[in-house]
A and B are shown apart, each in its own frame.
Chain A
Amino acid sequence: MLREDTGNDLLLRVEGLKTYFFQRNAVLKAVDGVSFSVAQGEAVGLVGESGSGKTMTCLSLMRLVPQPGARIVEGEIWFKGDNLLDLTEHEMRAYRGHRMAIVMQDPQTSLNPVYTVGEQVAEPVRLHLKERGQQAIARVLDSLRAVRIPRPELRLGQYPHQFSGGMRQRVVAAMGLTTQPELLIADEPTTSLDVTIQAQFLRLIRDLQQDSGTSVIWVTHDLGIVAQMCDRVNVMYAGRIVESGRVRQIYKEPQHPYTRALLDSVPLMGARREKLYQIEGQPPDLRSIPQGCPFWPRCPEAMDKCKEQYPPRTSLGGEDFVHCWLTEEGR
């Protein structure tokens, strides 16, 4: 929707990104040729089961893949006019925490236990905005207020263990948003929160996003969150994006059997179904990804062709696409 309005106003364009883990006797292709883009002010979902490469994709965007072991081997990450993979480490640091920020999965562990909350939120302010003293404190207080933390003057001097899980995740969000980044990566930020806190947090981020025009990448396995928060969605399987489309379109007409299966396994309020649908089998082990389309062993509609060759990209109009022989053959 936004995309058509804003035309070429792309913030982020990822092309053929490949991030591999190099082990003693194996190469694990955690991210294997991922391409997608994020327009300014847009919220894009990255959906898939655990181990599908979502988190590794996000870490690649910030060039923070685990060292030693993992390496970005190929691809381009265009952030406005710059390919992030061409920058020096020093130049890249000016992006992290300033133009792009991340909120991680577990608020219990993503704050340093031995520093006050105020100190941790102030770090990016001092580092990137070069503000010091009272000025920095004022900005930290504003950020804590923005994420609706009550009594921020008091909370400023407290340590993470004095906060509840939901409040901690707000602190992490404040830490990321205080420098007004252009891109916020939210890596399953609500998984460890209970449902009511989860809803509050989602609403909070959506409000902040609408106020500031920040683009957001939502990493999740919860299609409910995607429906609520995102404009577009990219479905990942075994390190690849298998389907990409506008959220409304994908919910209405999912093309890839995997997307369909994911949608079927979302519990619906008031649904008559006795038992929740479950995708058979396990996501593939990165050590032994099946030849052809990696989903075929679990696909109810697998054909011989699926076992031999990975399906090409089939455009579904606009920027929407799918990688599936069913769609490719059907036209």
Chain B
Amino acid sequence: MVKYIGFRLFQALLGLWFIATLVFILSRSIGDPAEVFTARNSGVDAREIMAAKLGLDRPVHEQYLKFLGQLVRLDLGDSVSNGIPVTQILVERMPATFTLGLIALIFALVFSLPLGILGAVYRDTPVDWVAKVLAFLGQSMPPFWLGIMLIILFAVVWGLLPPAGKGEWHSYILPGFTLGWGVMAGMVRLVRSSMLDVLDSDYVAMARAKGLPEVVVIGKHALRNALLPVLTYSSLVLGAFMNGSVVVEQVFAWPGIGTSAVQSVVRRDFPVIQGVVIVFGSFFILINLFVDIMYAVIDPRIKYTQ
């Protein structure tokens, strides 16, 4: 197990290095940053001063090593628009995005697991139809539209919840629901189909033949096997929430990374965009690492050694 985790950690580091390199190359191949950061008519001098300030007058390999060195020390440079260190901006905004993503995922899991399981166990009964209709509704409503509709209903018409911003606990409800809703729908379908597969298996028949009550047959023998694909999907979703949150954060004026990604693109604030991309990528890699370790815990067939 330790060997397996060690190997996966090594792979994760390799992935991070790859992302960093890619960001480095991309930010230098889509135009001269010094040009971007200087006013349009400011002449050659200003550009050269800016290039020197950004270290762009040094040879490329030197720039690259410096970039990596700073990255290791978690230094992503300063924002061009307001001079605040990028790391500080991200650290300030990360909790809002992560909490929202986590709340959305928990919401999705809490509803989709029981619905999917019930839908599979009581196939072609009213429970199953309800699950199917919910899945259908969830997948056909885009989050920006759903978010606006919810704001109109709950904030404007009924005045029950705040329309935007991050404050008390109840300010999490609308954005969390909006972000989790579509995922919940997909998850219901996934849990249902994966549960149906497992329920057809011989070992479930065998568990029944042992005389185990249906609750144990499903909760112990079927569920653990049915959860593997759900785990994979959850990890993809967590990764996607980093992107999905760009839309939902905009709708609810949520002070997260998504909002700063949009702002920095509008302001052409290169260091911040770099930072956001690196954070998104790292988060994806970390989730994958976590899922791989969870796999090994849930399914003993997955080999610990390479």
Contacts and interface: CB of A to CB of B under 8 A. Distances in A.
B206 A104 contact: yes
Nearest to B301: A161
Interface in A93-107: 93-98, 101-102, 104-106
A210 interface: no
A109 B300 CA distance: 15
B225 interface: yes
Contacts, number: 70
A198 B154 CA distance: 68
A95 B210 CA distance: 9
A216 interface: no
B301 A113 contact: yes
Contact of A111 (B123, B203, B211, B224): B203
A68 B203 CA distance: 18
A290 to B, nearest CB: 31
A147 interface: no
A159 to B, nearest CB: 4
A112 B207 contact: yes
Interface string A72-100: 00000000000000000000011111100
Interface string A2-27: 00000000000000000000000000
A110 interface: yes
Interface string B191-226: 000000000011101111111110000000100110
For chain B, give the interface size range: 20 to 34
A153 B182 CA distance: 49
Interface string B113-131: 0000000000110000000
Contact of A127 (B212, B225, B301): B212
A10 to B, nearest CB: 23
A123 B202 CA distance: 16
A62 B203 contact: no
Contacts of A70: none
A115 B299 CA distance: 9
A101 B211 CA distance: 9
Given A68-B123, A109-B203, A113-B225, A102 B209 contact: yes
B298 interface: yes
B201 A175 contact: no
Nearest to B198: A112
B225 A97 contact: no
Interface in A146-186: 159, 161, 172, 175
27 contacts: A68-B124, A94-B211, A96-B208, A96-B210, A96-B211, A97-B209, A97-B212, A102-B209, A104-B205, A109-B201, A109-B202, A110-B202, A110-B206, A111-B203, A112-B203, A112-B221, A112-B225, A113-B203, A113-B225, A114-B299, A123-B207, A123-B210, A124-B210, A127-B210, A127-B211, A159-B301, A161-B300
Given A110-B206, A112-B221, 8 more contacts: A68-B123, A95-B211, A113-B203, A113-B225, A114-B225, A114-B299, A114-B300, A159-B301
Interface of B: 123-124, 201-203, 205-213, 221, 224-225, 298-301
